[in-house]
Chains A and B, each alone.
Chain A
Amino acid sequence: MIINGVSIDATFAEAFPMKATRAIITAQNEKWAMISAQAMTGFATSVIACGCEGAIERVLDPSETPDGRPGVAIMIFAMGGKGLAKQLETRAGQCVLTSPTSALFSGIDGGIRIPLGKNLRYFGDGFQVSKQISGKRYWRIPVMDGEFLTEATTGQVDAIGGGNFLVLAESQPQALAACEAAIEEMRKIPNVIMPFPGGVVRSGSKVGSKYKTLGASTNDAFCPTLKGMTKTDLSPEIESVMEIVIDGLTKEDIDKAMRVGIQAVCDLGAKNGIKRISAGNYGGKLGPFHFHLQEIMA
């Protein structure tokens, strides 16, 4: 399959079941909601070392938030429910509770309820106030700038992590420009996040390493500087490869995000140095969810 001169590999991205949640952070203005959201989703690029994968899903209009203030929706994904709950609570406590004028609300009504502000309330040292409004419990925690308002719980749902595609380009600036265009379109899709810095990862990994202590190491088959040293997957004109990793609530959400992302890359086309789209997988033996590139773009 070739779109606008870009070759789409007959391969697939391999993804895994994860647990996910969404939280809504509001503040006096969008600037401070965004600061808090960025702090909460910082150091959350990969479950390999961060404990979770998280990112900003989208900016919310005041009409969409529970308290009518500007807000940001963030999503956090983890391999299990316990890990997710721990990450959520720790991050909420250190990054949202501490952030001026912030408030924190559940972003998923259904699912298994996990603590959001339920345990943060103890920070109130007995001065915290509970309010049950329309069946939801809120905690008002006195803090130095006034009151921190948080919903007690949010929803945990089954999700999918690890959807991905690789952009193979003739130069590094061209690969990055294509990925930026893809991310801009993919951020318009609800229920997905691209957890790596700016949504793009340049250090894709393979399973295993020559060093026994490492479970993952650089994906040498896609490293352009190793073309003459290893069993490369790159043709001579490829000088740079970048990857976009997608976590989403459902397979359909990831399908949609991959489609608009790959389309945005292909719209730049061969004339902008984009040669191929590929994807990362482990031979289909590890992850139950397979995203076939050519099926998605058909």
Chain B
Amino acid sequence: MSALTFTLKYKPAQRVDLSPLVCHQLADLSLADIGAILLQSGKLKLRVDELFTIEGSDTQDIVINNSTDNLDFIGKELDGGRISVNGDAGAYLAFGLKSGEIKVSGNVGLYAACEMKKGYLEVSGNAGDFLGAALPGNKMGMKGGTILVKGNVGERAGDHMRRGNILIEGNAGDYCGSRMTAGTIAVMGRTGRYLGYAMRRGTLLLWNQPTLSASFNDCGAHTLAFLPILFASFKSLNSRFADASIAFNRVQRYAGDMSEMGRGEVLVKL
């Protein structure tokens, strides 16, 4: 069986909600049924076959070709299966992802992996603000799984994050790890201002010395036993994080945010 492939015919004028095109919702549908699904685009409802050329039959392996940055909610609440996006993705990519794998070859918009529960998201380009965060007003962001971004991420990455890993090969914007409750965010590049703002628990693992707020206290240099295990868990990833030569276990430990619970930590490679 070849992958069920949606090739975008033209860039739609309005943003399009692609949330119906997820593996578990297409499982028992014929190509004709899939083509007849209506997608919300502004005030309009567009048929899938009006927007996409549809090929292939494996509903558990979806490919979206020619994807653009106004295709929102790709892989919303995906519960098993795989989605590959060739091109960019809009906002709310992998929203509430439950299980399965989503890979994007380009850049992704705001709120990628927002309130993700489990599974794996890989972005080869950059990600917008609020990566792995909670919806405005909600208290729990990402609750599990792994996000890998090979480029840079915007502001508030991991806002209200509860569990899981966010791995960033590039730079992170301001407020990275803000209001984190737990989990791990690793940033190989540089981080912006207000790192870990109001974080309660969790780990920010950095390759470069950040500019820290006064509410983070230096706990000294340490060799931490859990780091080799953490790095070993990245071995299977298609990423620089899988390279054994980048692993380390010697860090400077900063505790914070002391203006909040203060059980979080910023670990900086020594």
Binding site for B on A (CB under 8 A): 66-69, 103, 126-127, 129-134, 138, 140, 146-147, 149
Contacts and interface: CB of A to CB of B under 8 A. Distances in A.
B147 to A, nearest CB: 15
Nearest to B236: A134
Given A67-B228, A68-B228, A127-B263, A146 B201 contact: no
B233 A103 contact: no
Given A129-B265, A132-B163, A138 B233 contact: no
A125 to B, nearest CB: 12
**Smallest CB-CB A-B distances: 10 pairs:** A149-B225, A134-B233, A133-B233, A103-B225, A68-B228, A67-B228, A149-B226, A67-B225, A133-B230, A131-B226
B229 A138 contact: yes
A130 B232 CA distance: 17
- Which of A66, A132, A146 gathers the greatest number of chain B CB atoms within 10 Å? A132
B203 A131 contact: yes
Interface string B49-68: 00000000000000000000
A129 B201 contact: yes
Contacts of B233: 133-134
A127 B219 CA distance: 13
A91 to B, nearest CB: 20
- Overall SS of chain B's interface: mixed
- Overall SS of chain A's interface: strand
Contacts of A67: 225-226, 228-229
B184 interface: yes
Contact of B229 (A66, A127, A130): A66
Contact of A138 (B182, B201, B226, B232): B226
B238 interface: no
- Which of B225, B230, B233, B263 gathers the greatest number of chain A CB atoms within 10 Å? B225
Contacts of B201: 129
Nearest to B230: A133
Nearest to A146: B222
B229 A147 contact: no
A247 B225 CA distance: 32
Contacts of B226: 67, 131, 133, 138, 140, 147, 149
B234 to A, nearest CB: 10
Nearest to B261: A126
B182 A130 contact: yes
A293 to B, nearest CB: 45
- Which of A66, A103, A134 gathers the greatest number of chain B CB atoms within 10 Å? A134
B244 to A, nearest CB: 10
